Amino acid sequence: GESVGLHLPTLSVQEGDNSIINCAYSNSASDYFIWYKQESGKGPQFIIDIRSNMDKRQGQRVTVLLNKTVKHLSLQIAATQPGDSAVYFCAENMRGGSQGNLIFGKGTKLSVKP
Amino acid sequence: DAGVIQSPRHEVTEMGQEVTLRCKPISGHDYLFWYRQTMMRGLELLIYFNNNVPIDDSGMPEDRFSAKMPNASFSTLKIQPSEPRDSAVYFCASSPGQVGYTFGSGTRLTVV
């Protein structure tokens, strides 16, 4: 069936470097995508979202890129800090789907080395 | 705003016992979601409500699971009888509409 997956289950970066977390999705009907951050012992926290009519969106130190041609989503974190260490999930929502059709990927663990 | 509040934070119970998880959504949010998170399956949607009405419960594993939302400020997820394979972290989330899920801190359930 349709699913959201991640290329890299773990990512280790040096403090101050940029991080790139990737996500592949297979549902061409998806039109809304979200990145979440989950710290240990906490629930997922919204980071940034993007709609399918855009290919790039920037937030504070984060940028999401959407490539609909290859069904690929990425999250870029600039100047990665120790506080960025967490598991990052991408999620997709299908066009015309109900609110509940938010499908989460398995997650990528980001570790920031001081 | 206190966010989405879940209780208890941790629950350890014996197989066969009834377990009730509780959630208080953010005031004014029309949607409420129950998710289950495991290492093997990640985050799975169990059920969600809109204006206190269950909309989609296709993710509920089996009849042992039930969820209610008697009013806009409270929801429960009940497992009866519980089994070891139900061990997971259960999250409640609420949303004012199409975007902006806010998750609670979760309930870590261990069934022994």
Mean pLDDT confidence for A95-114: 78
Residue A104 three-state SS: strand
**Interatomic CA distance for residues A67 and A64, integer angstroms:** 10
Place of tokens 């470097």: A17
Q: What is residue B8's predicted lDDT score, i.e. its pLDDT?
A: 98
Residue B61: CB atoms within 10 Å? 13
**Alpha-carbon distances of A79 from A31, A59, B106, rounded to whole Å:** 29, 13, 30
User: Contacts of residue B39 in chain A, CB cutoff 8 Å?
Assistant: none
Q: What is the pLDDT of residues A1-41, one digit of tens each?
A: 334 544 448 999 999 999 999 999 878 888 889 999 999 98
Residue B24 has pLDDT above 90, yes or no: yes
The dihedral formed by the CA atoms of B13, B18, B23 and B29, expressed in degrees to the nearest 10: 140
Comparing CB atoms, the residue among B42, B55, B106 nearest residue A100 is: B55
Maximum distance among all Cα pairs of chain B, rounded to whole angstroms:
38
Q: What share of chain A is helix, strand, coil (3-state, %, to 5)?
A: 5, 55, 40
Q: What is residue B62's predicted lDDT score, i.e. its pLDDT?
A: 85
Tell which of A33, A52, A102 to mutate to test the B interface (max B CBs under 10 Å). A102
Kindly report the nearest CA distance between residue B3 and chain A, in angstroms: 11
**Interatomic CA distance for residues B96 and B27, integer angstroms:** 9
Comparing CB atoms, the residue among B4, B33, B91 nearest residue A100 is: B33
**Interatomic CA distance for residues B89 and B21, integer angstroms:** 11
* Residue B2 token pair: 């206190």
Q: What is the pLDDT of residues A57-96, one digit of tens each?
A: 999 999 999 999 999 999 999 999 999 999 999 999 875 5
Whether chain A has a CB inside 8 Å of the CB on B99: the answer is: yes
DSSP label at residue B26: P
Tell which of B101, B102, B107, B108 to mutate to test the A interface (max A CBs under 10 Å). B101
Q: Say how many residues make up chain A.
A: 114
Q: What is residue A101's predicted lDDT score, i.e. its pLDDT?
A: 65
In DSSP terms, A99 is beta-bridged to: none
**Interatomic CA distance for residues B111 and B40, integer angstroms:** 17
Comparing CB atoms, the residue among A43, A99, A103 nearest residue B106 is: A43
Q: What is residue A3's predicted lDDT score, i.e. its pLDDT?
A: 42
Residue A62 makes CB contacts below 8 A (sequence gap 6+) with A35, A47, A48, A75, A76, A77, A78
Residue B99's pLDDT band (cuts 50, 70, 90): low
Mean pLDDT in chain B? 93
Nearest to B90 by CA among B63, B70, B61: B61
Q: What is the pLDDT of residues B66-91, one digit of tens each?
A: 999 999 999 999 999 999 999 999 99
| Residue B98 or residue B14, greater confidence | B14
Q: What is the pLDDT of residues B29-75, one digit of tens each?
A: 999 999 999 988 889 999 999 999 999 898 998 899 999 999 999 99
* Cis peptide bond N-terminal to B81, omega within 30: yes
Residue A2 three-state SS: coil
